[in-house]
Each structure stands twice: as C-alpha cells, then as structure tokens.
C-alpha cells in the first residue's frame, strides 16, 4: 500500500469527525481560507457589476444591428449571473459570507461599470471588462493551485466562459466593421 502519501482511512475518519461544523472545509484544506473567501468576494462583485453593465447595454442597444447585439448582451448578462451564483455558493461552502452589499460594490469589483455611448462603444467596454476578468481569474487559478482544487476547477470553468465572451464581442465588432 502506498501509505507514505495517502492518509490512512482511520485518520481521515477521525479528522472528519473533529470539526464537523466546518462542513466542506476539512483539515486537509491547504489554502488560506480567509484569503480565498476575500478573493471570491471580489470576483462576486466583478460578476455583479458585469451583470448590471450587460443589462444596461441590453436595454440601451439601438440601431440597425441592435437585435443580434442585444441578444448577445442578454446572454452574457445571464451567464455572469450564473457565475455570481456559483461563486456565492462556494463562499458559503468555505464557511464565508457572500458580500452582496451595493455599498462599495464598484470598488470591490475588478471590472468597471461603463454605460457606453452607442453599440460599438458598449461592445468595446464589455470587451475591456472581459479581458480584466480573464486576467484576474487566471491569477486566482494560479493562486489556488493544488491547495483548493474545487475552487480552482470552478474558476477554470468561469475563465473558459469569459474567454468565449471576449471572442463573441470581437466577432460582433468585426461584423459591425468596427474592429
């Protein structure tokens, strides 16, 4: 038996019983939990700001090409909402509290809320925000490493979707001849 790197079952069971109240967080959790929760709350704020920005853009999209673009904005808004929900659930699982307070929301978020002036401008602002999200998720993934594989996997899934969002926006700009 490869005992040297696998913790034996008896020890695992004892550990699991010791801190029942910690829920999903066991002794084997290697990351700095408070810091992971803090980072996740920043990501949550970012996603909420992105929902708000995409919603504003969805309702404000006007002009000949507005229908397809508005549909894309709405789809992104809904997907950012999904990310926010996933992140909030993970924060609770880690024993933290998701911060949904409107106070300081814009300061906590990495990405900005920019209203944009016209379709092209809105798409460009969304692209900037997606690129910021991509970079911050990538950094968070590196930070989690093997210390919190569950959070890392969740973030990897979100990152992949932010990359799709950025690609969608670049395609829209190309279609509008604005790239």
By C-beta, is 80 or 148 nearer to Fe ion?
80
Cα distance between residue 128 and residue 134, in whole Å: 10
Q: How far is the CB of 121 from Fe ion (least distance, A)?
A: 18
Cα distance between residue 173 and residue 121, in whole Å: 10
Q: How far is the CB of 51 from Fe ion (least distance, A)?
A: 8
Binding mask 112-151 for Fe ion (x = CB under 5 A): ------------------x---------------------
Of the ranges 9-17, 58-66, 91-99, 155-163, which one interacts with Fe ion (CB under 5 A)? 155-163
How many amino acids of this chain bind Fe ion (CB under 5 A)? Answer: 6
Kindly state whether residue 165 participates in binding Fe ion, applying the rule CB under 5 A: yes
Cα distance between residue 169 and residue 91, in whole Å: 30
Nearest 5°: phi and psi at 44?
-60, -45
Q: Is 45 left (phi over 0), alpha (psi -120 to 50) or beta?
A: alpha
- Centre a 10 Å sphere on the Cβ of residue 37 and count the other Cβ atoms it contains: 21
When binding is defined by CB under 5 A, the residue of 72, 80, 148, 168 that contacts Fe ion is 80
Nearest 5°: phi and psi at 37?
-65, -40
Positions in the binding site for Fe ion (CB under 5 A): 47, 80, 83, 130, 162, 165
């Amino acid at each position: 038996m490869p005992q040297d790197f696998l913790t034996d079952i008896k020890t695992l069971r004892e550990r699991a019983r010791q801190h029942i109240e910690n829920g999903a967080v066991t002794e084997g959790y290697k990351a700095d939990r408070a810091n992971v929760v803090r980072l996740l709350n920043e990501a949550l704020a970012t996603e909420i700001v992105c929902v708000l920005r995409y919603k504003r853009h969805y309702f404000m999209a006007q002009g000949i090409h507005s229908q397809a673009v508005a549909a894309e904005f709405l789809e992104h808004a809904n997907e950012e909402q999904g990310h926010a929900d996933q992140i909030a659930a993970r924060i609770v699982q880690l024993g933290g509290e998701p911060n949904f307070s409107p106070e300081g929301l814009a300061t906590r978020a990495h990405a900005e809320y920019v209203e944009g002036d016209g379709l092209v401008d809105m798409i460009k602002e969304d692209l900037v925000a997606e690129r910021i999200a991509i970079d911050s998720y990538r950094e968070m993934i590196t930070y989690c490493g093997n210390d919190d594989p569950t959070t890392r996997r969740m973030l990897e899934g979100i990152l992949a979707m932010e990359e799709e969002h950025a690609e969608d926006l670049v395609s829209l700009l190309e279609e509008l001849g604005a790239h």
